[in-house]
């Protein structure tokens, strides 16, 4: 099953709709979807390393656009949709502490959490709820998300052939490690958020 999904993502890199699908996943992940765009960014960049820069740019722009939607959920719809999403992910009791932290550490919170596997939607919704400056939020989101996605692009563009060979030899191990990083991101978010 893992091989089929991996092969589908590799093959999808050559389809005209792939970049749109990756952009949609990146957009949704920043506002409500639990799966990060890396699940498409990495295989697509491995299949076409020369396009890794374009894929990173698309992920950055769509992630920030989705982040703005998440921000608006927090700012305008927190009492209904935003509160529901935060409760869905089990972070309802942590929102007030996070909101208080924004007064002093807002920029660092956005930068650090945007660079990590911590679910970015939690930052976007809470940024809106905390009434963090929208323009600062957008600028910091571009820096953090761009840093994350372009780091992946640099690595895959430079070492893509070697990485692809190793992933294909030990696909199960790499998927388990990626799942572990994702779970670790949720655990860290729960403890720090």
Burial classification of residue 83, based on how many CB atoms lie within 10 Å of its CB (0-12 exposed, 13-18 middle, 19 or more buried): middle
> pLDDT digit of tens for each residue in the chain (193 aa)?
566 766 777 777 788 888 999 999 999 999 888 778 888 888 888 888 888 999 999 999 999 999 999 999 888 887 777 677 777 777 677 767 767 777 778 888 888 888 876 778 888 988 898 889 999 999 999 999 999 999 989 988 888 777 777 777 777 776 677 677 667 766 665 565 5
Distant-in-sequence, close-in-space partners of 128: CB < 8 Å, separation ≥ 6 = 70, 71, 72, 73, 74, 75, 76, 78, 82
Q: Residue 64: name the closest of 130, 123, 151, 129 by CA.
A: 123
Residue 132 sits at the vertex; the CA angle it makes with 117 and 126, to the nearest 5 degrees, is 45
All structural domains of the chain with their residue ranges: 2-192
Q: Which tokens belong to 96?
A: 């007030």
């Amino acid at each position: 099953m893992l091989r089929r999904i991996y092969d589908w993502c590799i093959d999808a890199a050559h389809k005209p709709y792939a970049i749109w699908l990756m952009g949609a996943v990146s957009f949704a992940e920043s506002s409500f979807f639990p799966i990060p765009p890396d699940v498409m960014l990495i295989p697509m960049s491995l299949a076409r390393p020369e396009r890794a820069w374009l894929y990173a740019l698309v992920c950055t722009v769509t992630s920030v656009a989705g982040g703005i939607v998440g921000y608006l959920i927090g700012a305008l719809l927190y009492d209904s949709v935003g509160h529901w999403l935060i409760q869905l992910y089990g972070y309802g009791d942590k929102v007030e502490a996070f909101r208080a932290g924004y007064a002093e550490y807002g920029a660092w919170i956005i930068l650090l959490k945007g660079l990590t596997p911590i679910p970015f939607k939690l930052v976007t919704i809470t940024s809106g709820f905390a009434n963090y400056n929208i323009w600062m939020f957008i600028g910091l989101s571009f820096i953090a998300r761009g840093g994350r996605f372009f780091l992946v692009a640099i690595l895959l563009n430079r070492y893509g052939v070697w990485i692809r060979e190793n992933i294909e030899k030990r696909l199960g191990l790499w998927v388990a490690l990626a799942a572990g990083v994702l779970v670790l991101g949720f655990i860290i978010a729960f403890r720090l958020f």
